[in-house]
């Protein structure tokens, strides 16, 4: 039986993670090996298996590049070893992505492959800028052209100049003066609308518009860089009327998220939907603690302090062959809507949910509740506020540490981006401690934390966002001013507080 693997040539879209196809996400999740390019979405690899081999195989003008021959050799070697290989490319693999070349290499080598189309930047970047590539009465045809040619003679400028529709140039921002000049020399109207869309579909997207005659000069003046898409044609004039992506409330803002990656996806997704550029800077991760199976029948109150605690509680129940029915004899108390939702996913409706999503709030909510024996399900090292209050009320209390928060190393690139962000969000005291440790901070005051000379400090314009009082106290203990604190101490409250602050600035 053959042990040859299979290669998937997968388009990752133009940059917005929401434009990854369902098939692309499915293949990423199951791949043994992923060979990825530079222009894939930031979070494209988040769904990869923990044991998957992730290899950079991208190209960058003037920067780090992996030769095409080396990429193809890796692809063949891993497939011949029986691996499932995803060759992950920005945009679509068959639109200026050299996917055809790689497919021919695979066919020659006798290795089975599949092509998974992706959304191409020549359509999506322009759509996000409010520029349809075709529009009734303006353009009934569109031509996609590579702007990266070694010799202008490679393109038929006469044919392009006479083309009765929209011209879309990929990878041409560095040669825009030559492209525009060649079109005009071949007879294209110099007053025709033109535009360049930089970082299309990303939160940092911007559009520069002009005429064909003046677009190169304006792009140079505005310092537009790669990746960019250039459009020439009447449809470019619709951008001012139809632009929508840059009108989101957090457009142009960069927000760093420091919570554990497994818990950060919802926050990151919401921030992106609001238009923010998200910097994933997870400085903690959760780790399950070993322990015996759980028999909850002795407790008349079970307090669950976090979504992680809820999930791990049911793991302990399952280890004993039990499920939600085993909790029927106890009241269930939950801190915060996230915890309440996690319990609901396991079939439990919490009996007691405090208005304030803190241990102090739960203590207040339990003030008139008679408790004989309580179980507090939490993280190792949690605050003693709740157990102490229950004991003071006469209850016997068992604390069950189900998981712990451990330090997650932060890459130099992620740290640099987070330190320069417009906002940096903190969702626990542990994210504060570990982020500042990663930054090399041992702050003794505001100036040390924000303006230290060691190159590891928050920028002067960075706003510090806290999920609630406990996190804020940790920030102040480390010498940082809390610029924004959520009034509702959950992710939704943090988002609303950040939005309100951004609206005033």
> To 10 degrees, what angle do helices 337-345 and 307-319 make?
30
Angle at 270 between CA 494 and CA 439, to 5 degrees: 60
Superfamily of domain 6-118: Tetrapyrrole methylase, N-terminal domain (3.40.1010.10)
Strands of the 373-379 sheet, one edge to the other: 284-288, 396-407, 373-379, 301-304, 331-334
pLDDT at 441: 46
Residues contacting residue 326 through CB under 8 Å, at least 6 positions apart: 295, 296, 297, 317, 320
Task: Specify the pLDDT at position 144.
Answer: 97
C-alpha to C-alpha distance for 427 and 429, rounded to whole angstroms: 7
The one catalytic residue in 37, 92, 422, 490 is 37
**Residue range(s) in the chain whose domain bears CATH number 3.30.950.10:** 123-247
Instruction: List helix spans (H) across 224-336.
Output: 239-242, 261-273, 307-319
**pLDDT at res. 457:** 80
**The pLDDT of residue 208:** 96
Q: What are phi and psi of 262, to 5 degrees?
A: -65, -30
227 prior amide bond cis, ω within 30: yes
What is the architecture of the domain spanning 254-283+408-503? 3-Layer(aba) Sandwich (3.40)
Phi first, then psi, for residue 345 (nearest 5°) are -65, -20
Catalytic annotation present for 83: no
Q: Which two tokens stand for residue 126?
A: 């322009």
Report the CATH number of the 123-247 domain: 3.30.950.10
Q: Which of 238, 62, 218 minimizes the C-alpha distance to 135?
A: 238
Q: 403 vs 259, 289, 311, 313, 384, CA distance in Å? A: 15, 5, 10, 10, 16
pLDDT recorded at residue 462: 94
Contacts of 77 (CB under 8 A, 6+ apart): none
At 63 the pLDDT is 55
Torsion sign across C-alpha atoms 155, 161, 164, 166: positive
- Among residues 114, 183, 177, 86, the alpha carbon closest in space to that of 143 is found at 183
Which entry of 46, 59, 401, 501 is annotated as an active-site residue?
59
* 3-state secondary structure string across 340-374: HHHHHHCCCCCCECCCCCCHHHHHHHCCCCCCCEE
Quick one: pLDDT at residue 50?
87
Q: Over 101-127, what HEC string results?
A: HHHHHHHHHCCCEEEECCCCHHHHHHH
Q: Is 59 a catalytic residue?
A: yes
Residue with tokens 């142009």: 252
* pLDDT recorded at residue 452: 37
Mean pLDDT, 10 residues at a time, the chain of 505 residues: 82 94 97 94 88 86 76 95 96 95 96 97 96 96 86 81 97 93 97 96 91 96 94 96 88 90 81 89 88 92 93 93 92 90 94 84 89 93 90 93 88 89 93 87 42 58 93 92 92 94 92
The CATH number given to 288-405 is: 3.40.50.10090
* 197 Rama sector, left if φ>0, alpha if ψ -120 to 50, beta otherwise: beta
Residues carrying CATH 3.40.50.10090, the chain:
254-283+408-503, 288-405
Q: Give the β-pairing of 193-198 and 206-211.
A: antiparallel
- pLDDT for res 407: 83
pLDDT attached to residue 352: 92
- Residue ranges of the chain assigned to CATH 3.40.1010.10: 6-118
Give the per-residue pLDDT at 61. Answer: 55
pLDDT at 444: 39
């Amino acid at each position: 039986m053959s042990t040859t693997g299979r290669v998937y040539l997968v388009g990752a879209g133009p940059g917005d993670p929401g434009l990854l196809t369902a098939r692309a996400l499915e293949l990423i999740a199951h791949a043994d090996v992923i060979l990825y390019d530079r222009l894939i979405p930031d979070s494209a690899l988040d769904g990869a298996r923990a044991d998957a081999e992730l290899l950079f195989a991208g190209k960058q003008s003037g920067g780090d590049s992996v030769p095409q021959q080396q990429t193809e050799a890796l692809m063949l070697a891993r497939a011949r070893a029986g691996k499932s290989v995803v060759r992950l490319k920005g945009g679509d693999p068959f639109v200026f992505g050299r996917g055809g070349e790689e497919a021919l290499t695979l066919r020659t080598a006798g290795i089975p492959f599949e092509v998974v189309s992706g959304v191409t930047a020549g359509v999506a970047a322009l759509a996000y800028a409010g520029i349809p590539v075709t529009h009734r009465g303006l353009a009934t045809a569109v031509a996609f052209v590579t702007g990266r040619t070694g010799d202008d003679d490679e393109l038929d400028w006469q044919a392009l100049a006479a083309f009765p529709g929209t011209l879309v140039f990929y990878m041409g921002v560095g040669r825009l003066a030559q492209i525009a000049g060649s079109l005009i020399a071949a007879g294209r109207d110099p007053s025709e609308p033109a535009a360049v869309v930089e970082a299309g579909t990303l939160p940092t997207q911007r559009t520069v518009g002009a005429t064909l005659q003046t677009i190169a000069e304006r792009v140079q003046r505005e310092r537009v860089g790669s990746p960019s898409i250039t459009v020439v044609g009447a449809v470019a004039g619709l951008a001012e009327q139809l632009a929508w992506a840059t009108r989101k409330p957090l457009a142009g803002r960069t927000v760093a998220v420091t919570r554990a990656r497994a818990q950060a996806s919802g926050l990151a997704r919401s921030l992106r939907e609001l238009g923010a550029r998200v910097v994933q800077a997870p400085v903690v991760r959760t780790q399950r603690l070993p322990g015996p199976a759980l028999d909850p029948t002795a407790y008349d109150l079970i307090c669950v302090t976090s979504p992680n605690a809820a999930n791990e509680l049911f793991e302990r129940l399952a280890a004993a062959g039990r499920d939600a029915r085993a909790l029927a004899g106890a009241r269930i108390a939950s801190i915060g809507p996230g915890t309440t939702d996690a319990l609901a996913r396991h079939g439990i409706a919490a009996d007691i949910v405090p208005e304030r999503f803190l241990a102090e709030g739960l203590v207040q909510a339990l003030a008139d509740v008679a408790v004989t024996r309580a179980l507090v399900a939490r993280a190792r090292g949690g605050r003693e506020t709740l157990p102490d209050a229950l004991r003071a009320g006469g209850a016997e209390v068992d604390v069950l540490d189900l998981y712990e928060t451990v330090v997650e190393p932060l890459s130099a690139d992620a740290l640099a981006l987070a330190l320069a962000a417009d906002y940096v969000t903190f969702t626990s005291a542990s994210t504060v401690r570990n982020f500042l440790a990663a930054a090399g901070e041992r702050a003794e005051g505001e100036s040390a934390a924000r303006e230290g000379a060691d190159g590891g400090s928050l920028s002067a314009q960075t706003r510090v966002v806290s999920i609630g009082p406990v996190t804020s106290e940790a920030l102040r203990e480390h010498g940082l001013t809390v610029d924004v604190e959520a009034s509702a101490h959950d992710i939704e409250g943090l988002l609303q507080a950040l939005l309100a602050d951004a609206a005033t600035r």
